[in-house]
Amino acid sequence: MGDEQKDLIEQEDVLMMTDDDFMKKYSRLVYYYVNKYFSNIAKAIEQETNLNMDDLIQSGMLGLVTARRDFKTELGFKFTTFAVPRILGCIRKAVRDSQKIRITNEVYEIKGKISRMKLHDEEVESIAKLLEVSVRDVKTAKEFNPRTISLQTPLNKEVNKEKVTLENTLIDKKTSMTLDDVIKKMIITAFLSTLCSKEKFVWELHAKNMTQAAIGKRLGVTQTQISRILKGIYKKAEEYGNKHSLRDIGKTRFEKTIENHVRQSSHGNWLDIAESNGVSRGAFWYRLREGWSYEMAATQPLGSQGTRKNKQVI
């Protein structure tokens, strides 16, 4: 029996099996991912949300049942691949909805920029102008910073004689965003496994900020050929997302995920460098899709055709 036939049988079993048989076979997924991603921060989550491990498991079970309801065999992949993001999504929603102190994703992003760009000691108005956001959002982000201990719930431990807050263990380590990152990482890992060895090699070197010319020299091909390979990778990413009903993997999910894994340079965050050079986020990602290196995409002024002329030295 071929692998495709085995997968089809498994997909059919998910829809045909009894509720008891289904839960007996697949409930382990919920326990596994709850323990993997939440066991170390369970106490912090409970203090901030009043949700314990059993509550998280129940939310995960809801996601599992929802995944079974929405699963379609014509999607072309295993039920477990379809179910895990929905399990994690339901847990994420439960945690966010139960937080005693809530802030938006936009404020989380502002908070991250303040931290990365070391703007903690700057005036609120100056930060707002620099990041092109509202003063209110900057105030909220600064208040939700580990330095503003008064707003946070202290945990039952100390470091250097200072109280450790929930934010130190949950927010500052980006645990509140971990589930999004996990889902995106799963998507990208699965996609990258579909690339041939040559494409993987080119992508790894590109991710390390090697120029197309240098990559071509390593492989014994022209820069133009490397550019075509990189464009092909982005095109495949978008097609992969469409095939697996994961919207905008090529234009949004793929880009946001590689932000977290490969956009850092010895000079800092490439997106921050781009913004400091007047290059918008959209322009930055467009250039990458066109095959530019991270350095060129972040430092070339708008209107440039990819030459190094007038590039800001960093």
| Residue 306 per-residue DSSP state | S
Annotated domain spans of the chain: 3-98, 116-176, 194-299
Q: Is the pLDDT of residue 35 over 70?
A: yes
> How big is the CA angle at 143 (ends 147 and 277), to the nearest 5 degrees?
90
- CATH code for the domain defined by 3-98: 1.10.1740
Phi, psi of 163 (to 5 degrees): -65, 135
pLDDT at residue number 128: 85
Read off the pTM. 0.37
pLDDT at residue number 266: 40
Please say whether the dihedral angle defined by the alpha carbons of residues 184, 185, 190 and 193, taken in this order, is positive or negative.
positive
* Residues 81-134 pLDDT 10s: 888 888 988 898 888 777 655 556 677 678 778 877 778 788 888 888 888 888
Interstrand relation of 264-265 and 268-269 (parallel, antiparallel or unpaired): antiparallel
206-to-28, 160, 228, 294 alpha-carbon distances in Å: 38, 42, 13, 8
Phi, psi of 170 (to 5 degrees): -110, -55
Largest CA distance in the chain: 67
pLDDT at residue number 1: 44
Among 23-37, 151-165, 198-212, the range with the most confident prediction by mean pLDDT is 23-37
pLDDT at residue number 105: 64
Give the closest residue to 11 by CA, choosing from 77, 86, 83, 87.
77
Q: Is the pLDDT of residue 63 over 80?
A: yes
286: left (phi over 0), alpha (psi -120 to 50) or beta: alpha
The residue among 6 and 221 whose pLDDT is bigger is 221
How far apart are alpha carbons 126 and 296 in whole angstroms?
Answer: 28
